[in-house]
Structure 1
Amino acid sequence: MKKALLIMAGLVSAISLMGQNQLLYGNIFNQNGENLIGATVQWEDSGEGTVSDENGEFWLARRPDTAWLLVQYVGIEPSLVEVWPEEDSLFILVEEVVELNTVEVTAGAKDQYTSTLKTGNLEYVSSKELRKAPCCSLAESFETTGAVDVAIQDAVTSAKEVQMLGLRGVYTQMLLEKRPTLYGLATPLGLDFIPGTWIQGIQISKGSSTVQSGYGGAAGQINVELAKPWQDKPLFINAFGSTTERGELNVHLNHKWNDEWSSGVLLHGSTVRGEFDKNGDTFTDLPKKTSLIGLFRTFYRGEFLRSQLNLHVVSDERSSGQIAALLPDGTLPYTIQQQNDRAELFGKIGYLGLANDHSSIGFIYSLSRHKTANRFGLSEYTGTQNSAYANLVFSSAFANEDHKWNLGASYQYDDYKEMLDEEDLSRREKLPGVFAEYLYQPHVGEGFWNKIGVIAGARLDHHNRYGLLFTPRLNIKYNFDEETILRFSAGKAWRTAQVLSENLSVLASSRHLIFETELDIEEATNVGLNFTKNFDIGHKHLQLVIDAYHTRFEQQVVMDMEYEHGAVLFYNLDGRSRSNSLLVSLNYELLEGLDVKAIWKYNDVRIDYKDGFRQKPLHAPHRALLTVDYETPSENWMFNLNAQIVGSQRFADDHQVPAEFKDQFSGNTPVYTIFNAQVTRRFKNLELYAGGENLTDYRQEHAIIDFDNPFGEHFDAMQVWAPLVGARAYVGLRWWIE
C-alpha cells in the first residue's frame, strides 16, 4: 500500500480568529481523525508560512491567484497542494490508500515527537500515542513519555504526581486548554479527574515557557487538549476491565448542529472493588474507588466570533487501609476515607472583527469549587477551595507575520478553607497581573535572520501576601536547517506552596507536622539547552533529542522528613537548592511500521537541609525508557512493549527508622525494571485491546514501617520507591459511530 496526501478543499464559512476574509484556513489530520500538530505550511514561491497549532489548524494570507502550498511534517515527504484563489478553507488528510494519482508520502506521522521548528522546546503526544497503553486517566498518560515521570506518593492512597526535570509535579504548571487547573486542593488526585479518552493531545513544554498563563512552571508546562465536538465521533464508547477488579466506562456523545454550533457530552465512570494484600502487611494494596466524571461542551465557530462553554463535574470516593478480616477480633483497623467533589465552569471567547487582519482578542475564564474530606486513622483533614480565573489577551503583528506580540492582563482568586483536626489553615490569595510578549518566528530559510527565532516575555503580578512579583522569560532558537535546531531558554518562576494538599502523604504516618516559621513564596530560575535533529537513514526517520536544564531555587519551602524523629518539618530554604537534568532520546523507525524509542535521563536534585546539602530522598537520579511499537501494513494490528528502568534511590536517614526495620528502609533501593505490553486489533468501527502491566510482578515487598502498630509512634507509609501492585492483565474495547 502507498501512503498519499489527500486534499479536500471547499468553500465554507470563515472560522479564523483573524481577518478571515483575507486569510486561508487549514486543518491537517490523519485517517483516524487525529490532528497533526506542528506541520509546516508555506507558499512555495514566497516562503511565507506558519505551523499548525495544537488543533492541527493554521491560517495564512490568501493569494489573489492560483498558488502552490508546501506541506511538511515529521516523517512525511514534502508535498505541494494547489490552492485556487476562491478557496478560503483547506482540509488536508493523511491517509493510506491502495492507489491514487496524488503526491506519495514515504512514512506516517510520528505519534510523539519534538518540533524542529518551534522556538520553545515542545514535545507533542498524540491521542494515538496514548492508545498504546490503557491511559485510563491523565495520570497514566505518560507511560511512554520520557520527559515526564509519574511517582506514587504513599503506600495507602495510590495518589500520583508528575515529575519533570527532576522536580516534583507542583513545579510543572498544569494547563487544560491553555488554562491553569488542578492545583491547590485538587493536587493529590487531580490527574485522575481527566479521563484518558477525553484527551486529544498533550503538549509538554520544558523549562521556561510563555508568560501568558501565569508566573508558575519552574520545570515547564503541560497543556492538555480535550476532544472537540466537531472533530470527535458522534458516538464513542470505551470499556476497560482488569484483574484487580477495576472497571471503567467512557461514553462520548457529540453533535454538530450546523457549520457554527457543535456540542458534546463526555461521561466517565470507574470503580475498583478488589481488596487484596499480597505483601502480607494487612493493608490493601490498592484503594477501593468509585469515580463519576462528566464534561459538557458547546462551541460556536462563526465568521467574527468564536466561543466555547464547558462544565466539568467530579465525584470521587476512595477507601483504603487495613483489611478488617485480616486482623484479630476486636482490633481497631486503621482506615482511610477520601471524598473529593469538584465543579468547574470554564470557557473561551475570541473576536476577530478588528481592522488589522493580523490582530485578535481572546478571553479565557473559569470558576471552580473543590471540596475534599479525608480521614487518615484518627486524623481528619477537610477543605474547600473557591477559585476564579480570567485572562484577556490581545495579539497582533508588526509589518508581517514574522514579528508578533501579545499583551494581556489576568486575575486569579483562590479562597482556601482548610482544617487539619482543630488547626485552621485557611487563607485567601488574590493575584492580578499584566504581561507582554514578543515573538520573532520567520520561516526557516537562507540567511541568519531566517534561521533564528525569539520569544521574549515578562509579566508583573501583585500578590496580596507577597507584593510585586516580576517574571522575565526568554526562548531563542537557531535552525541549522529545517531538521536541525538548537534552543536556549531562561526565565523565572514563582509559586505559593499549598503545604497540606501537596504533601497529603504525611498524614499516612504518625509523624506530626512542624511549621518552623511563616512560609515564604517560592522563587526559582531555570536555564536550559535543547538540541534536536531529524535524520534520514535508509529512508527511515530517526530523531535525536538532547536536553540539559538547570533549576536553581532562590527561595523554597523545604519538607524535611529526616531532621527530627517522628516529625515532618516545613521551613524556608536557608542555602542552596538545585536540580540538574540531562535527557538523551532516540526515536527510530527501524523497519516499516516498527518504531523503537530509547531514552536515558539523569536528574541530580540536592537541597540544603538542616543537616547538610544532600540528595533528595526517594528520588532516582537515573531513569531509562525503552519502547518498541509495531503496526502491520494493513494497520489492523498494533503491538506495543515498553520497559521502564528506575535507578537506585536514597532512603531517608535511617535514624528515623526503628532498628527492627533498618534492613528494609536504610541505605539505597535496588535498581528495578517494569515491563508493560499491549496488543490492539482494529476493525472498521471497533478496536479490541488486551495487555499486561508489571509483567515480571516486581513489587516493593515492605512499604509500611511498623504496619502492625498503625496508631503507634513509628508508623510510616511514606517510604515508597517501587510499585505496590504486581502483575495484572486487562482487556478493553473502543467502539464508535462515524
Structure 2
Amino acid sequence: MNTKYIIASFILMLYALQGYTQSASSINGAITDRAGNAVPWATIAIPSIKIGTTADSAGRFLLADVPAGNWELEVKYVGYQPYTVRIRTNGTTPAHKDIVLLDAGTSLDEVVVSGTMKEVSKLDSPVPVEVYTAKFFKSNPAPTVFDALQNINGVRPQLNCNICNTGDIHINGLEGPYTMVLIDGMPIVSGLSTVYGLSGIPQSLIERVEVVKGPASTLYGSEAVGGLINVITKNPKTTPLLAVDAFGTSWGELSADVAAKLKIGQKVQSLVGVSYFNYQNPLDKNNDNFTDVTLQHRISFFNKWNVERPENRVFSFAARYVYEDRWGGEMNWAPPYRGGDEVYGESIYTSRWELFGTYQLPAKENILFQFSANGHDQNSVYGNTPFMADQYIGFGQLTWNKVLGNHDLLSGLTYRYTYYDDNTPATADAANLGINRPTHTRLPGMFVQDEITFDERNKLLLGARYDYNSIHGSIITPRINYKWNSLDKNNVLRLSFGNGYRVANVFTEDHSALTGAREVVFESELDPETSWNGNVNFVKKIPLGSGGIVGFDATAFYTYFNNKIIADYDTDAQKILYGNLDGHAVSQGISLNIDLALMNGLKLMAGATAMDVYSEEEGQKVQQLFTEKFTAVWNAGYTLKRLGITIDYTGNLYGPMRLPLLSDADPRSEKSPWWSIQNIQLTKAFRNGLEVYGGVKNLLNWTPNRGTPFIIARPHDPFDKLVEFDGGGQALITAENPYGLTFDPSYVYGPNQGARGFLGIRYSFY
C-alpha cells in the first residue's frame, strides 16, 4: 500500500476522531438580578436531555458536555421568576450567556408545602398559597416577623394593648387565635406564643413565608380556622458563610442579626444565628405620661442542621431560644414598682425554647416523621395584676405519601400533648378556687387526602381529618379543593370548601383578659368553635412583550361560624364577658393582588381587601371589634442599574373599625378614622456582597391620637383610686371624672410610633 495514502488516511482518521470527541461543547455565563448583584446557587438545566449544574457563590456557571443542537435552557432560584431561553450549540465552540433574573414577588412559581403538606409547584397546588420571599421583606426592614407581615394583603398585625404593645396576626379580619403560625411546617407558635412569641422570630432567618387563607384544620388541626402562616427558615446548604443585617432608628431602636454557616465533613451543614433587639428610650409624644412604645430587650438564638443521606432522604432539625424583657407604663416607672400600685407599669419577662425537625424513614416508601417541642415561661404583671404561666407542648406526626396512577395520596397520624398552668381561674379547681389544677390536653388525630389529577388542566383534592380532644371529644374536619388551569398555566381557577374548628384558651390568647382593667367573666363553659368556609380564587398572568410580566390574583371568601367565642366589651364597661355566641358569625369579602415586574427595573405589588365581619344573635347584627372593612397595601420598587441603587416605597391603608367605649359619655369616637403608614427606603448594593440601606418609616408621622382627646382612658389614675362607683359597680360621673370612665388601655387600633429615620447595612460572604 502507498505510504502517502496510509499517512493521509491516518490524518483523516485523527480529524474524524477529533470531530467525534468535540461533538459536545459547553455553556457558560453569569446570573445576576436587575441591580447587577450576583445570584448564587441558582440551578441551570436543559431538561430535555437531563443535564444541569448549579451556579457558584458569584453567580457563575459552566454547563459541560452539551451536545450540538438548539436547546431550551432553564434557570430557577427561590425568590426569582423562572427563566427560559433558547441556546444553539455547535458541538465545538463554548456558548456564552449572561442571565438576568426578575424578582418573583407574589407570582413566584416555586415549590410550596403549606397547602397540601407536601412539595408541589405553586401553580400546580389545588390550594391557593401566597408566597413572600426574604427579598420582599427587605423592602421595609423590620426586626421581627410580626412587624414584617404588615405589607401582605389581608394580613394585619394587630396591637392589642397601648401599653405593653403585644399583638396578634389577623387574616381576612379574623383575630389572631384563628391564625396558625408554623415554623418549617411545625405548629410552634400557639397558645401563649400567639400573643407573646411572635416578636421573637427574627426576619433574617426567613427564606420565605407561605400564607394560606381559609381553614386548614383538615391538615393542621385546631387554630388553623382563619388560615395559616408558614415561616420557612433558610437552608444551611445554600446560605452564605457569613451574613450580617443590622439597622438603627432615630428613636433609638437597634436591631442586629448575624448568621454563620458551618460545615462538618461533606454531608452535614449547620446554620447558627443570633438576633438582638434593644430599645431603651422612653418617649411620650402624645403627652399622656405613658410610654408611646414599649421598651424592649430581646435576644434570640437559632441553630439549624441539615444532614445529607443516601437517596436524598431528608433529615433536618433546628432549635431556637428567645428571652425578652419588655415594659411599658408611666414615664417614671422602674423595676422596683413592678407589681405594686404606686406607679403603673406592664412588665413582661418571656423565656421560650423550641425544638423541631423532620426525618425521612429509610424505607422504599416516602414516610416522614416530623416532631416539635417547646416550653414557654411567662412572668408578667399588669399594674398590680400578676400573670404567671408555664406551657409545654409536644407534637409528633407521621406522614406517608404514595402515588397510585393519577392519585397522589397523603395520610398521617398525629399526636399533640399540651401542659398548661397559670395563676388565673383557667387552671383553678371549679369547686375550690384555692386549689391549682394544671391542664393536660391530649390530642391524637389522623388525616388523609387524595389529590386526583384528571388531566393537565383539572385537579381535585379530597381530604378529611379526625381528632380526639381529651376534653371536648371527637372532631371531624373535611375539605374539598378543585383546580382548573389553561394549558399555558397563565389562567388558574381554584374552588375551595372546608371545615375548621378551634378550642379556645382565653388567658393565653387575649391580652385584654389579663390587664386587670376589666373583670373577666365566663358566662358558660366554652365549647369548641366550628366554621364552614368557601372561597373562589382566580389567578391570571400576562407576559409582556418587553420580557416583563403582570399578574392578577383575585379571591372571594365566605366563612360561617357556629359557637363563636365573643369577647363582649359593650354590655358592662367594667367587665369582659366571654361565652359561645347563641347565633352565628360571618367573615366575608373579596381581595385582589396585582404584581407587575418589568425589565427596566420597575416592580409593583399592590393589593386590597374589602370585607364584612360580624356576629348575629337574636336578630341583632354587630360588627366585630377592631376589624376594618377595607385595607390596601402596596410595594413599589425601582432599580437604577448603573448606580446599583434601589428605591422602595411601601405602605398600607386601613378603613374605619369599631372600637370599645366605656360609657355613653365617653368622648372618643366609636370608630377609628382612615389611616395609613407609609415608608420609603434607598438601598445601595456593592458587588462585594455589601448593601447599605436607609430611609424613613411612617412618612406621614401618623399616630392614633390625632383628633382624639385621649387614647388611654384616665391615664392620670391607673389604679382607679379617684373613681366613684355606684352599687352596681359602674363608674359615676363626677367633677373629677366628667365622662364616668375607669382606667382602660384597650382603645387601640394602630401603633403610637411616629415618623423615624433608619439606617442599616447588610453583608453576605459566600
Secondary structure at the aligned position of 1:436 is classed as strand
1:270 matched to 2:298? The reply is no
Displacement of 1:590: 5.6
Displacement of 1:626: 2.5
Q: Which of residues 450, 453, 460 in structure 2 aligns to 1:438?
A: 450
Q: Which of residues 156, 165, 177 in structure 2 aligns to 1:158?
A: 165
Give the aligned partner of residue 668 of structure 1.
Answer: 671
Output the CA distance in 2 between the equivalents of 1:81 and 1:365: 46
Give the aligned partner of residue 512 of structure 1.
Answer: 519
Q: 1:463 to 1:228 in 2, by over 3 A?
A: same
Alignment of 1:45-444 (within 5 A): 71=74, 76-79=82-85, 101=95, 108-113=102-107, 115-209=122-216, 211-304=218-311, 305-324=313-332, 332-351=342-361, 353-354=363-364, 359-399=365-405, 402-420=406-424, 426-441=438-453
Structure 1 gap segments, 5+ residues each: 9-29, 47-65, 84-99, 442-447
Q: 1:112 to 1:632 in 2, by over 3 A?
A: farther
Aligned-partner residue type, residue 361 of structure 1: I
Aligned-pair Cα RMSD in Å: 3.0
Give the aligned partner of residue 62 of structure 1.
Answer: none
Aligned-partner residue type, residue 671 of structure 2: N
Between the two proteins, the alignment pairs up a number of residues equal to 657
Displacement of 1:107: 5.7
TM-score of the superposed pair, with normalisation by structure 1:
0.83
Output the CA distance in 2 between the equivalents of 1:379 and 1:737: 49
Q: 1:591 to 1:609 in 2, by over 3 A?
A: farther
Give the aligned partner of residue 704 of structure 2.
Answer: 700
Displacement of 1:574: 0.6
Displacement of 1:509: 5.3
Q: 1:575 to 1:508 in 2, by over 3 A?
A: same
Listed one character per residue, the Cα deviations across residues 617-647 of structure 1 (whole Å, up to 9, x for unaligned) are 2221111123211122258211110221111
Higher deviation after alignment, 703-712 or 448-457: 448-457
Is the CA contact (8 Å cut-off) linking 1:561 and 1:569 kept in structure 2?
yes
Is the CA contact (8 Å cut-off) linking 2:315 and 2:357 kept in structure 1?
yes
Listed one character per residue, the Cα deviations across residues 376-409 of structure 1 (whole Å, up to 9, x for unaligned) are 011111100011000001111113xx53111110
Secondary structure at the aligned position of 2:743 is classed as coil
Secondary structure at the aligned position of 2:186 is classed as coil
Output the CA distance in 2 between the equivalents of 1:72 and 1:583: 32
Listed one character per residue, the Cα deviations across residues 195-235 of structure 1 (whole Å, up to 9, x for unaligned) are 00011111112224483433441222211111122111111
Q: Which of residues 463, 467, 470 in structure 1 aligns to 2:469?
A: 463
Aligned-partner residue type, residue 671 of structure 1: W
Q: 1:311 to 1:107 in 2, by over 3 A?
A: closer
Displacement of 1:324: 1.7
Q: 1:325 to 1:394 in 2, by over 3 A?
A: closer
TM-score of the superposed pair, with normalisation by structure 2:
0.80
Is the CA contact (8 Å cut-off) linking 1:275 and 1:285 kept in structure 2?
yes
Is the CA contact (8 Å cut-off) linking 2:29 and 2:99 kept in structure 1?
no
Displacement of 1:668: 2.1
Listed one character per residue, the Cα deviations across residues 281-336 of structure 1 (whole Å, up to 9, x for unaligned) are 1110111111111012222111144312322111111111111289xx99921111
Q: Which of residues 620, 642, 664 in structure 2 aligns to 1:612?
A: 620
Q: 1:607 to 1:102 in 2, by over 3 A?
A: farther
Give the aligned partner of residue 533 of structure 1.
Answer: 540
Give the aligned partner of residue 493 of structure 2.
Answer: 486
Listed one character per residue, the Cα deviations across residues 631-675 of structure 1 (whole Å, up to 9, x for unaligned) are 2225821111022111112233x4x2362xx332x3322112221
Q: 1:149 to 1:679 in 2, by over 3 A?
A: same
Aligned-partner residue type, residue 162 of structure 1: I
Aligned-partner residue type, residue 384 of structure 1: D
Output the CA distance in 1 between the equivalents of 2:505 and 2:643: 47
Give the aligned partner of residue 95 of structure 1.
Answer: none
Q: 1:583 to 1:261 in 2, by over 3 A?
A: same
Q: Which of residues 704, 722, 729 in structure 1 aligns to 2:750?
A: 722
1:629 matched to 2:637? The reply is yes
Is the CA contact (8 Å cut-off) linking 1:602 and 1:623 kept in structure 2?
yes
Q: Which has the higher strand share?
A: 1
Is the CA contact (8 Å cut-off) linking 2:678 and 2:698 kept in structure 1?
yes
Secondary structure at the aligned position of 1:143 is classed as helix
Q: 1:519 to 1:138 in 2, by over 3 A?
A: same
Aligned-partner residue type, residue 374 of structure 2: S
Higher deviation after alignment, 225-234 or 278-287: 225-234
Displacement of 1:536: 2.4
Output the CA distance in 2 between the equivalents of 1:81 and 1:429: 60
Displacement of 1:256: 2.2
Structure 2 gap segments, 5+ residues each: 1-26, 31-36, 51-68, 109-121, 721-730, 732-741
Listed one character per residue, the Cα deviations across residues 477-509 of structure 1 (whole Å, up to 9, x for unaligned) are 100231100101111111111201211134335
The percentage of counterpart residues that share the same residue type is 23
Q: 1:70 to 1:553 in 2, by over 3 A?
A: farther
Listed one character per residue, the Cα deviations across residues 560-585 of structure 1 (whole Å, up to 9, x for unaligned) are 11111211000011101010021012
Listed one character per residue, the Cα deviations across residues 434-455 of structure 1 (whole Å, up to 9, x for unaligned) are 11111235xxxxxx72201222
Q: 1:425 to 1:128 in 2, by over 3 A?
A: farther
